[in-house]
Structure 1
Amino acid sequence: MLIHPMPDPIALSIGPLSVHWYGLMYLAAFVQFIALGRLRIRQAHIAAVGWKKEDLDDMLFYGVLGVVIGGRLGEVLFYQPAYYLSNPLEIFAVWKGGMSFHGGFIGVMIAMAVWAYKAKRNFWDVMDFIAPMVPLGYAAGRVGNFINAELPGRLADASLPWAMIWPNVDTMPRHPSPIYQALVDGVLLFIVLWIFGRTPRPRMAVSGMFALGYGGARFFTEYFRTPDYEVAFAGITISAGQMLSVPMIVLGLLLLFLAYRKTGGNRLA
């Protein structure tokens, strides 16, 4: 039986300064955004509409604010409002983990709307451009969750080769759910979006594929993760993560419908 290694969440210490693995994963996410962005700019249909390397640096600044502020507020409001109401100073302890992707998604949308207004670009062109660069950053965050021994999986059959005991939870075999989410919601979705976005698509199509793909993938992988809480919906019990993913699935379908409604619509990223 595999046992979660429970590594020290602090990667290294320099005097009084401690660098957490979780923070390093976010740094890796931001670095890959720049690296993939530079590759995306080289694609002919992207270069044709005037995207530049300088745009990436500018968007990253706004995106970091959106991810951190939105992700943390999402965790506070969507998942643990009672805890943070009782411990308000913990809201600022982002190095301990606890970031909501759905909150970060909303935060990034707001940040990109601000940047699009400032840069005089269409909001959906911006979202279509950055969508393929997001999933690998998400995957890095899930690796950070695993290192921090967060988001333990549901109980698994002991015969499952990768079933794992989480010593901070109990001695029962569990699914390594953060790894599932890193691979499915992250790596697999990246592959799909990168291939989909390599050729010209109607405006909103790449954004729609991202919302639909992430919402569907997250809904699936939530079946292997211990739910933060569950809600009853139309006689069916779903987790908080699944409940928050349903609007993304609906949004994705709507954007794809609007994108392909007219033949020969605007072609962008």
Structure 2
Amino acid sequence: MLIHPQIDPVALQLGPLAIHWYGLTYLAAFGLFFVLATRRLGHLPFKNLPQWQKQDIEDILFLGVLGVILGGRIGYCLFYKPAYYLANPLEIFAVWQGGMSFHGGMLGVIAAMVWFAWSRQRPFLQVMDFVAPCVPTGLAAGRVGNFINGELWGRVADPSLPWAMLFRGAGDVPRHPSQIYQFLMEGLLLFVLLWLYARKPRQQGQVASAFLFGYGVFRFVAEYFREPDAHLGLLSLGMSMGQWLCVPMIAGGALLWLWFGRRSA
């Protein structure tokens, strides 16, 4: 049985300025996106579309950062603690206290990409197909931050499990390191599959649909090993809030992938 390492969440202290590991993982996520998106300009169909330039990546990244931060925070407040934030609306702005939702961040990014597509007069689905394969590495970076902070730990595990881990604040019971599971599944594995899938010509909208479906499936599976939010617990059918939010992603991703394929045919 392993013990979670005591990692100081502050990576660097410069007088009153504290640089946290979690903030650095966000910077790593945005940097990885920029590198991968630059490579993506050389893939079909974008290398044959002269309107796609490196400046577009910078604009997409700026808008995406806004979407992630605003959408992630608002989504957390709405999906996980609506009653609390309704009673304490000023707490919505206390982002330093934690509380971000991937699903809210995804909706924020979609809204940002709608604005980008409209302002640049690009097909929205084309924009989403460009962005989708560059996202999973950022998700992987975020899970590294969760592990360093010792947060979002897993459910109780069998002590005989070689990688079962004790997390401070989670009691004296071994748990699944679910942050690592999510890092591997919805981060690295999803990136490899989606990057390879997007390298070949696809019907417009199918790459983005594959991301929705793939993330939804991997996150749904990972939630079986992740401890549910204490204030919510398990909901209907024994599923967590994270799993219920993944259900429309899985169904919508599969249906959209089929629809885009048949529509183009």
TM-score when normalising by structure 2? 0.94
- Segments of 5+ residues of structure 1 without an aligned counterpart are 265-269
Matched with 1:3 is 3
Residue type of the alignment partner of 2:121: K
Asked if 1:157 corresponds to 2:158, the answer is yes
* Partner-residue secondary structure (3-state), 2:140: helix
For residue 80 of structure 1, report the CA deviation from its aligned partner: 2.4
Q: Bigger CA drift: 76-85 or 110-119? A: 76-85
Encode CA deviations 1:7-56: one digit per residue, 9 max, x unaligned.
Answer: 11111111111111111110000000000011111124321123211100
What letter is aligned with 2:112?
A: A
Distance 1:93 1:24, change over 3 A: farther
User: What is the aligned partner in structure 1 of residue 187 from structure 2?
Assistant: 186
Query: d(CA) in 2 for partners of 1:262 and 1:81?
Result: 39
| Mapped partners of 1:15, 1:83: distance in 2 | 34
Q: Does 1:53 align with 2:54?
A: yes
Distance 1:162 1:96 in 2: 30
Mark the runs of 5 or more structure 2 residues left unpaired by the alignment: none
For residue 81 of structure 1, report the CA deviation from its aligned partner: 2.7
Aligned to 2:225: 224
Partner of 1:162: helix, strand, or coil?
coil
How far apart are 1:86 and its partner, in Å?
A: 5.3
How far apart are 1:243 and its partner, in Å? 0.2
Once the 2 structures are TM-superposed, how far is the Cα of residue 263 of structure 1 from its aligned partner? Answer: 5.2
Spell out, residue by residue over 1:154-213, the C-alpha distance to the aligned partner (whole angstroms, 9 max, x if none): 000111111000121101000001111111011100001000000111011001100000
CA distance in 1, matches of 2:97, 2:31: 21
Matched, 1:210 2:202: no
Shift in alpha-carbon separation, 1:201–1:101, aligned structure 2, 3 A: same
Matches within 5 A, 1:1-269: 1-50=1-50, 51-85=52-86, 87-228=88-229, 229=232, 230-232=234-236, 236-262=237-263, 264=265
Q: Which has the higher strand share?
A: 1
The aligned amino acid for 1:153 is G
Deviations 1:217-267 (A, max 9, x none): 1000000000123211xxx21100000000101110121011110455xxx
The answer on whether the counterparts of 1:22 and 1:96 sit within 8 Å (CA) in structure 2 is no
Read off the aligned partner of 1:98 and give its amino acid letter. Answer: G
RMSD between aligned residues:
1.4
Instruction: Give the distance between the partners of 1:212 and 1:11, measured in 2 at CA.
Output: 35
**SS across alignment from 1:175:** coil
Deviation, structure 1 residue 89: 4.4
* TM-score normalised by L of structure 1: 0.93
Question: Could you tell me which residue of structure 2 aligns to residue 267 of structure 1?
Answer: none
Q: For 1:194 and 1:95, how far apart are their aligned partners in 2?
A: 33
